[in-house]
Structure 1
Amino acid sequence: MEINDTTGKEIVIDIKELYKSFGDNHVLRGVNLEVDRGENVVVLGRSGTGKSVLIKIICGLLTQDEGSVIVLGEDVKNLRARELEALRLKVGFSFQMSALYDSMTVKENIAFPLMRNFKHLTKAEVKKRVDEVLDAVSLIKSRDQYPAELSGGQKKRIGIARTLVLRPEIMLYDEPTAGLDPISSIEINSLINSIKKEFGVSSIIITHDLVCAKVTGDRLVMMFDGVVQKQGTFEQVFDSNDERIKSFYEYNFT
């Protein structure tokens, strides 16, 4: 693993000069980004600026046109199918819409990826790990319910638990508070922080929600026009005369 010269910490995601286009739509135009072990990095930017494309490239769902993406010491673009599958077990992707199976109970939803990827586990071991993550997201009493019986915030937490059950080293959150009421959003923000503390994961959090960014982000990265324009703490990023950054702040807080 590489060491960050600035912080002295281990770099778990190292992105250099990343480019990605879809036809004439140049989405990423030379992105550079590092994530240290145990760090929550929030990526901000308008819709269409390439935030979701960025995290899909990190976990190998998309392939870049140029540049390098090193995740946990592995060059994602050059991995063979089996190697990429092994890496994805270490990189959890929390989808915006939770992506739960309606026909399965909560416990079955969470157990599914565990049983699919770790066939050697006994039923008792699977139950223990399912209960562990349900407890972590404070929904142990909902284990026998179906997704249709859950609120939007509960579905988000179950989706996170299903990702967490594989014990990833990295979590990628795509708009974790989108569509939630203020109370549910507070609960998700608190959960992201507690997961970092309890499970020691490193995270990239894609969000438009500046409350989420301020509460969960150790470092904020502001993207415009497919490149990183500014990064730092919440205060450092928004202490700016850049009209694009000011308008982004004002949209959320005024």
Structure 2
Amino acid sequence: MTTSIIPAAANAPMLKYFESQGFNELYIDKDSVANQLMGEEADRVLDLADYAQYLRCMRNATRARLLADTSFGGDNLTNWATTADELVRCGADTILISDYQSKTANYQPNLLSDKDFKVKIQTMKAELADTHTNAIVNLGGFSAYGLAGLTDRIKIAHDQGIAKVSISNVTAKDLSIIGAIMTPNQEIGLAIDNPKMTFGSAQQVNPAFVLDTYHPKKATQQWVQKAGPSVVLRLYMGN
């Protein structure tokens, strides 16, 4: 099994670069977009309207398939349906259905119950009927529900007709446990979303794909830091 990489992209130049390097699927990560639009330490939470408009702009900048985030707003049917419908209209080829709604101040996910997670999948999938948009499930609560809970949630996703599952919010130390469910007949991938997870460590358990949000985000932050006030001033003054 060959591991494919789906990198996150926070702006059009990143999209075009990744596309030029042969990546045909790119992730418009909510946190990366928030960082791009409002700065690393902004208190404002990125809402669906802002994200959807940004996604529409990115859709016009690339021919690659775009994977869109869905973790917006409250945990109710109307919100889930609206989110999926809006992302489809703004050009998402695939939506990432997470088993949480938002993240706390320390970036830990507010997990949905098994029942609500199942309903969320059903509600969002209903909005994808008669469209060309697919869905991937993202599971971010391994530290809370462990291997048994992870296995249960993978089964929920498969029972609802979703084949591809991404496991996020894990570290390299977790892989010795998670590796037990990485069987060749399941399309299970891993997210690199923190400094404790690397591509090399992820490869040890042979995931079907790797969703990388951490390294593109760090690259954006480093570029912004290098193009700081002194650089901007020189450009403005024409020197």
- TM-score of Structure 1 vs Structure 2, range by shorter chain: 0.3 to 0.5
Greater length-normalized contact order (CA 8 Å, ≥ 6 residues apart) = 1
Structure (1 or 2) with the greater strand fraction: 1
Structure (1 or 2) with the greater helix fraction: 2
- TM (norm. structure 1) is 0.36
